[in-house]
């Protein structure tokens, strides 16, 4: 399956010839059946999804594609069985032909928190780093973004995105199986760059900020969401081992420290526009994500602490512009 044939001409039109050539060489092998033992099943299920034509598409207030009446008799059970092949569904929620995919995260809540504070997306070219299955990218398209390119190295997330693309066939939204380190430095072409839930997984957070800055055009906006801790400008928390059962959590800054990092990396107009303590209603296990979730990561007798005794997840959203 060639998922990216419509992407390469768009990159060429933006003057990104070298990146287009690089992707044409690297992307075909990223989702090959030799990469993961499940890949053959995922690709076969994707190809076998029923041919349906959505009577409605809503991407602004929610992500809803089609309605139950678009399905043939017995089609609902067939569709649910196919969608569950792509378990676990972490980002959403989605409503697909009347089937509610109740994902682990209420990603729509995060979107509602940040949307009033960012520059209007209408007509903008957007990069979404660590985009998961592209949920927020669909909301960006609903808000009028001209082009959305998401990157995420997790194959199952890319295939979940392709499930939605099966029925939306949107040439202006792409999810690439890449990490930020695979993006050429100093592209300088995106009007908005999102990095949400990524920074604390990076061993060098300042390098990550510089990578994001390199993707922006001058005056472009960074929207960054990350775990934080309470404290002054010099407060940075690094767990000795796991944090909320995660091995790959490195640095949690205070709001002041995060603003200082952004300033030192050359950003201006820096603002913390939202803080939110993650609740068990926003992140939880469901029939679409049956593994452990937030309730299992918190201390059983003190919800203000993780199971290891660290401060419970507190998240903040920052905006900044490239000088």
Closest C-alpha to 3, from 35, 27, 36, 20: 27
Question: What pLDDT is recorded for position 123?
Answer: 98
Of 1-5, 58-62, 72-76, 112-116, which gets the smallest average pLDDT?
1-5
Question: Does residue 190 surpass a pLDDT of 90?
Answer: yes
Write out pLDDT tens, residues 195-243.
Answer: 999 999 999 999 999 999 999 999 999 999 999 999 999 999 999 999 9
CB 207 within 8 A of CB 296: no
Three-state SS for 13? helix
Question: Whole-angstrom Cα distance, residue 269 to residue 126?
Answer: 19
Instruction: Extract the tokens encoding 288.
Output: 């679409």
Task: Name the strand (E) or helix (H) holding 321.
Answer: strand 314-322
Write out pLDDT tens, residues 38-89.
Answer: 899 999 999 999 999 999 999 999 999 999 999 999 999 999 999 999 999 9
Write out pLDDT tens, residues 252-265.
Answer: 999 999 999 999 99
Question: Does residue 33 surpass a pLDDT of 80?
Answer: no
Question: If you write DSSP's letter for every residue of 181-212 in order, what string do you get?
Answer: GGSPTT---EEEEEEES-GGG-S-HHHHHHHH
Helix extents (H) in the chain: 7-13, 17-30, 39-48, 75-83, 107-114, 135-142, 155-168, 205-215, 255-264, 294-297
Write out pLDDT tens, residues 257-289.
Answer: 999 999 999 999 999 999 999 999 999 999 999
Q: What percent of the chain has pLDDT over 90?
A: 96
Question: Whole-angstrom Cα distance, residue 249 to residue 29?
Answer: 29
pLDDT band at 34 (very low <50, low <70, confident <90, very high): low
Q: Is the pTM of this model over 0.95?
A: yes
Question: Whole-angstrom Cα distance, residue 151 to residue 162?
Answer: 13
Contacts of 320 (CB under 8 A, 6+ apart): 221, 222, 224, 262, 267, 268, 269, 270, 271
Give Cα 24 to chain centroid, integer Å.
23
What value does the mean pLDDT take over residues 116-141?
A: 98
Between residues 38 and 314, the one the model is more confident about: 314
Question: What pLDDT is recorded for position 32?
Answer: 78
Measured distance between the N- and C-terminal CA atoms of the chain, rounded to whole angstroms:
40
Instruction: Extract the tokens encoding 39.
Output: 């890949």
Question: What pLDDT is recorded for position 37?
Answer: 78
Question: Does residue 36 surpass a pLDDT of 80?
Answer: no
Closest C-alpha to 278, from 318, 226, 200: 226
């Amino acid at each position: 399956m060639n998922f990216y044939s419509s992407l390469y001409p768009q990159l060429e039109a933006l003057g990104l010839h070298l990146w287009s050539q690089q992707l044409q060489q690297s992307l075909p092998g990223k989702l090959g059946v030799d990469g993961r033992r499940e890949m053959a099943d995922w690709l076969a299920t994707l190809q076998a999804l029923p041919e349906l034509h959505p009577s409605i598409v809503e991407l602004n207030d929610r992500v809803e594609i089609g309605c139950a009446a678009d399905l043939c008799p017995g089609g609902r059970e067939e569709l649910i069985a196919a969608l569950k092949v792509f378990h676990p569904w972490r980002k959403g929620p989605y409503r697909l032909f009347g089937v509610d995919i109740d994902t682990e995260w209420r990603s729509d809540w995060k979107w509602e928190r940040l949307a009033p504070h960012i520059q209007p997306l209408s007509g903008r070219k957007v990069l979404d780093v660590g985009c998961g299955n592209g949920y927020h990218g669909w909301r960006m398209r609903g808000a009028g973004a001209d082009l959305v390119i998401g990157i995420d190295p997790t194959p199952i997330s890319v295939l979940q995105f392709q499930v939605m693309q099966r029925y939306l066939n949107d040439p202006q939204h792409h999810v690439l199986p890449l990490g930020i380190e695979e993006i050429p430095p100093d592209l300088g072409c995106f009007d908005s760059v999102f990095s949400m839930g990524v920074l604390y997984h990076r061993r060098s957070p300042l390098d990550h900020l510089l990578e994001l800055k390199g993707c922006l055009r001058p005056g472009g906006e960074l929207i960054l969401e990350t775990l934080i801790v309470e404290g002054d400008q010099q407060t940075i928390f690094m767990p000795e081992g796991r944090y909320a059962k995660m091995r790959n959590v490195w640095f949690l800054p205070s709001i002041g420290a995060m603003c200082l990092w952004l300033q030192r990396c050359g950003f201006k107009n820096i603002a913390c526009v939202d803080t939110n303590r993650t609740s068990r209603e926003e992140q939880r296990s469901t029939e679409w994500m049956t593994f452990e979730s937030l309730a299992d990561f918190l201390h059983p007798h003190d919800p203000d602490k993780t199971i290891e005794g660290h401060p419970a997840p507190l998240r903040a959203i920052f905006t900044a512009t490239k000088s």
